[in-house]
């Protein structure tokens, strides 16, 4: 039998004891290793539309790609199916796993769905229709929602920019205990390897961002530019809990892949990830809870915009906006609720043009130098000190220097989405850089 490229996509594989899709992927990799597959890529961790309400954490799905000589995809399906069933436990209702299998080509309908899932809400029915019309071998449970992420991950080959994450896991039985990641080891790691890493530390607070806080098996994850650098960095991190296993993922994290669409206000849809251009229409105000709210207008309509309290110092920038400023909002669209209209939740702000602001003041008396007062509507100005009057004299206009510059502003790293392209990556890309597997990219 000739060698075949097999690709498996998976999503929504959670378990009652805290399991998650990437952790399940490590177990599947371990099983496939026993079948002597030849890996053609790192496992891919594909983040999808971060505004999706159904996500548990960072809306991540996984794709595995490998060559297999002795078996075809039909022989793999029951193995994977059994592993998923064992992992999620048969009666666990809070997960809707989806797994899809491909030999060789991924059809164009799947690629289309995959591009959509980065920034739109994809209906489950669309995923099911694609699976049926393209005759895709698959396994799903519950409402089948996991198929959306599974299809989307497998069709995203990370052909443009990409990054890496080293994820260290603890054992499932230890998920109810404290991880105890050693802050100093992270600070040292970040300092020594800073050019190769991103979004592992929040520079304004020195808070470490590699350690999750939920009861999942991820002990920590280190994001960076090359496989070798994330492995080197990840192995410098110390923690109270033992590393049970680690894997390097190739990913679209930090690439901004979700924010490629410029959308007019009238064309926005709930939970869309979009770039919206407009002019400030109502100036920002800080409301209770520390959220900064303003409004923009474009040719089609007006919409409220919000920078929420967790975005910290980013709100100070937002508060400097003035009516007439031309800006682009990087946004996730929040649909109307009982208390609010449609709102653009800010993930970034591009200031393209600043409105000119003038301050007006009464003229200075040409006789004594004292500031004059209005003499009444249409009656010009009078000086209360020397009595000088003039109906022709005009108020003075002075240009106010703005304390905001043209450019891109993002929330602090701690408040960014996994997909956000952080400022340290603004001029970096791994597009076209080969991703040959390093000798040891996982350890179980």
Residues within the interface to ligand ATP (CB under 6 A): 11-12, 14, 20-21, 48-49, 52, 54-60, 96, 117, 120-122, 145-146, 148-149
For residue 29, give the nearest of 368, 437, 411 by alpha carbon: 437
Angstrom distance (rounded) from CA 214 to CA 76: 32
Cβ 200 vs Cβ 186: under 8 Å? yes
Nearest CA to 151 among 172, 188, 184, 126? Answer: 126
379-407 exposure pattern, b = at least 16 Cβ within 10 A, e = fewer: eebbbeeeebebeebeeeeeeeebeeeee
Taking the complex as a whole, the smallest distance from the CB of residue 95 to ligand ATP amounts, in Å, to 7
- What's the closest the beta carbon of residue 397 comes to ligand ATP, in angstroms? 51
> Please, which residue, 127 or 321, has the CB nearer to ligand ATP?
127
Q: How many CB atoms lie within 10 A of CB 277?
A: 17
Q: Compute the least distance from the CB of residue 51 to ligand ATP, in Å.
A: 8
Cβ-based nearer residue to ligand ATP, 155 or 393: 155
What is the token pair recorded at 299?
């040719």
Smallest separation (angstroms) from ligand ATP to the CB of 150: 7
Min. distance of Cβ 116 from ligand ATP in angstroms?
A: 7
Neighbours of 163 (CB within 10 A): 26
State the residue number with the nearest CB to ligand ATP.
Answer: 149
Q: Read off the tokens for 397.
A: 């206009």
Nearest-approach distance from CB 66 to ligand ATP, in angstroms: 21
Question: Distance between CA atoms of 384 and 373, rounded to whole angstroms?
Answer: 7
Nearer to ligand ATP, 59 or 252 (CB): 59
- Is the CB of 58 or the CB of 363 nearer to ligand ATP? 58
Q: How far is the CB of 427 from ligand ATP (least distance, A)?
A: 29
DSSP symbols for 186-234: HHHHHHHTGGGB-SSEETTTTEE-SS--SSSSEEEEEEESSHHHHHHHH
In the complex, least distance from residue 58 CB atom to ligand ATP, rounded to whole angstroms? 5
The two tokens of residue 365 are 């008396």
The DSSP H or E segment spanning 79 is helix 73-88
DSSP per residue over 257-304, as a string?
TT---B--GGG--TT-EEEEEEEEEEEEEEETTTEEEEEEE-SS-EEE
H runs (alpha helix) in 107-174:
108-117, 124-133, 146-155
Whose Cβ is closer to ligand ATP: residue 96's or residue 420's? 96
- Please state, as a whole number, how many other Cβ atoms lie within 10 Å of the Cβ of residue 256: 19
- In angstroms, give the least distance from the CB of 156 to ligand ATP: 12
Contact assessment for residue 201 and residue 209, using Cβ atoms and an 8 Å cutoff: yes
Minimum CB–partner distance for residue 124 and ligand ATP (Å)? 7
Whose Cβ is closer to ligand ATP: residue 136's or residue 189's? 136
Query: Closest separation between CB of residue 84 and ligand ATP, Å?
Result: 13
Question: Looking at beta carbons only, is 95 or 292 nearer to ligand ATP?
Answer: 95
188, 236 contact by CB (below 8 A): yes
295 with 302: CB under 8 angstroms? yes
Contact 138, 131 (CB under 8 A): yes
Query: What's the DSSP call for residue 365?
Result: P
């Amino acid at each position: 039998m000739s060698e075949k490229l097999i690709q498996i996509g998976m999503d929504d594989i959670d378990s009652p004891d805290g399991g998650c899709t990437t952790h399940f992927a490590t177990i599947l990799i371990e099983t496939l290793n026993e079948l002597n597959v030849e890996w053609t890529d790192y496992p891919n961790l594909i983040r999808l539309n971060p505004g999706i309400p159904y996500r548990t954490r960072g809306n991540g799905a996984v794709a595995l790609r490998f060559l297999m000589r002795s078996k075809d995809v039909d022989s793999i399906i029951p193995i994977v199916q059994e592993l998923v069933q064992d992992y999620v436990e048969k009666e666990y209702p809070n997960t809707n796993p989806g797994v899809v299998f491909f030999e060789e080509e991924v059809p164009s309908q799947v690629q289309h769905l995959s591009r959509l899932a980065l920034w739109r809400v994809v209906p489950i029915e669309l995923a099911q229709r694609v699976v049926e019309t393209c005759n895709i071998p698959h396994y799903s449970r519950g409402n089948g929602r996991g198929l959306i992420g599974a299809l989307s991950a497998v069709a995203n080959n990370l052909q443009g920019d990409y990054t890496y994450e080293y994820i260290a896991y603890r054992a499932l039985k230890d998920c109810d205990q404290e991880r105890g990641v050693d802050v100093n080891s992270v600070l040292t790691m970040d300092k020594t390897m800073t050019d190769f890493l991103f979004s592992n530390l929040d520079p304004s607070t020195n808070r470490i961002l590699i350690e999750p806080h939920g009861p999942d098996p991820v002990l920590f994850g280190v994001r960076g530019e090359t496989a070798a650098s994330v492995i080197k960095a990840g192995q410098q991190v110390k923690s109270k809990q033992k590393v049970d296993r680690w894997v390097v993922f190739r990913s679209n994290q930090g690439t901004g892949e979700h924010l490629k669409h410029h959308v007019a206000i009238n064309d926005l849809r709930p939970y869309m990830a979009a770039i919206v251009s407009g002019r400030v229409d109502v100036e920002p105000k800080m409301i209770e809870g520390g959220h900064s709210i303003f409004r923009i207008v474009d040719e089609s309509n007006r919409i409220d915009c919000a920078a929420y309290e967790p975005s910290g110092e980013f709100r100070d920038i937002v508060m400097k906006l003035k009516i007439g400023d031309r800006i682009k909002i990087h946004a996730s669209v929040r649909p109307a609720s009982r208390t609010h209209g449609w709102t653009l939740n800010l993930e970034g702000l591009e200031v393209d043009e600043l409105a000119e602001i003038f301050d007006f003041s009464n003229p200075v008396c040409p006789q004594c130098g004292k500031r004059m007062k209005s003499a009444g509507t249409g009656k010009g100005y009078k000086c209360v000190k020397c009595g000088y009057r003039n109906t022709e004299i005009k108020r003075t206009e002075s240009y106010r220097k703005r304390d905001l510059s043209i450019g891109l502003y993002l929330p602090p790293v701690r408040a960014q989405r996994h997909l956000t392209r952080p400022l340290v990556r603004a001029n970096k890309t791994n597009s076209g850089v080969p991703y040959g597997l390093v000798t040891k990219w996982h350890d179980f």
